[in-house]
A and B are shown apart, each in its own frame.
Chain A
Amino acid sequence: MKLFMSAIAVATAMIATQASAQDVADLNDVEMAHVAYTADNIDIRYAHLALALSSNPDVHEFANTMIRDHTAVNEAALGLLDKLGATAQDNFFSQALNENAEKIIDDLSKLRGAEFDEAYAANELAYHQTVNELVENTLIPNIDNDEVRALFQQGLEIFRVHEGHAEMMVSALNG
């Protein structure tokens, strides 16, 4: 378990170190939209893995909420981009996020039972903490379009609630 937790910590750190904050801040609005869409999809993938591998009802409930909420944010993002006549643009940071996610999914997939539940909860907490910090301090201050910024702010409000839920889940599973 300790080894796996280290993997999460390293993967989380990689998200922050593969690019400087300035590199990410320099992305344009449609690239930032792609980062957010990618981050949402990654958490949806983690949730589907939890539904497949966990038998804990509380973990299932949390995972279903992640799927429901992140899907709603992504649908809103696609709707806004469509309205603005824009398309989300792939970029180095979206690719880094996906690479890190592949590694985490690979590690999580090897676990079962309580070990999986604890690792999934710890990863959800670490992931939301990292992404929320990025959205709040790097992405939102550098978005040009008011409507795109408002959508990111709505998304951040949701992800902060998720972070709180993940914190409670970690405490409950380790208690």
Chain B
Amino acid sequence: MTELISRRKIMIGAVTSLTALACRADGARKPKTHVVKIRSFTFEPAHLQVQSGDSVRWINEDLAPHTATAEEFGWDTGELANGASAEVEVSDGMETTYFCAFHPHMKGSFEII
């Protein structure tokens, strides 16, 4: 009986440890880089779900130079010539809607989850 309890305790302990490990792994989630391609005067995808600590990379595949610029100008990739890219790191509270400063009808956004 004692042996059975001990085995059960060990099993519970092992499951608890694995859960804790999983939680730690989740807590220390590796940041992702989300890619937004700029094609034909549109951001693709135009909307993203991201987490704080992730990065968003914009790659300009158009001939015309573009930017990704926060609506209230809190962050900005600067000018992206054809083939150029730039990254912005996501942080809590940052602006999540943006546009191209050169072609303001181009709009995109992301949601911090």
Closest beta carbon of chain A to B10's beta carbon, Å: 67
> By the criterion CB–CB under 8 Å, are B63 and A73 in contact?
yes
> By the criterion CB–CB under 8 Å, are B64 and A69 in contact?
yes
Give Cα distance in the complex from A72 to B62, angstroms. Answer: 10
Tell me which of B62, B63, B81, B102 has the highest count of chain A C-beta atoms within 10 A of its own C-beta.
B63
| Interface stretch (choices A4-12, A138-146, A151-159) | A151-159
Main secondary structure of the interface of B (DSSP, over half): loop
| Size bin of chain B's contact surface | 10 to 19
Main secondary structure of the interface of A (DSSP, over half): helix
Q: Which residues of B contact A72 (CB under 8 A)?
A: 63-65, 81-82
Give Cα distance in the complex from A165 to B79, angstroms. Answer: 19
B8 contacts A by Cβ under 8 Å: no
> By the criterion CB–CB under 8 Å, are A68 and B63 in contact?
no
Give Cα distance in the complex from A68 to B81, angstroms. Answer: 10
Q: Which residues of B contact A158 (CB under 8 A)?
A: 62-64
Give Cα distance in the complex from A34 to B81, angstroms. Answer: 23
> By the criterion CB–CB under 8 Å, are B103 and A65 in contact?
yes
Give Cα distance in the complex from A161 to B40, angstroms. Answer: 10
Closest beta carbon of chain B to A122's beta carbon, Å: 21
Residues in chain B within 8 A of chain A (CB atoms) = 40-41, 62-65, 79, 81-82, 102-103, 105
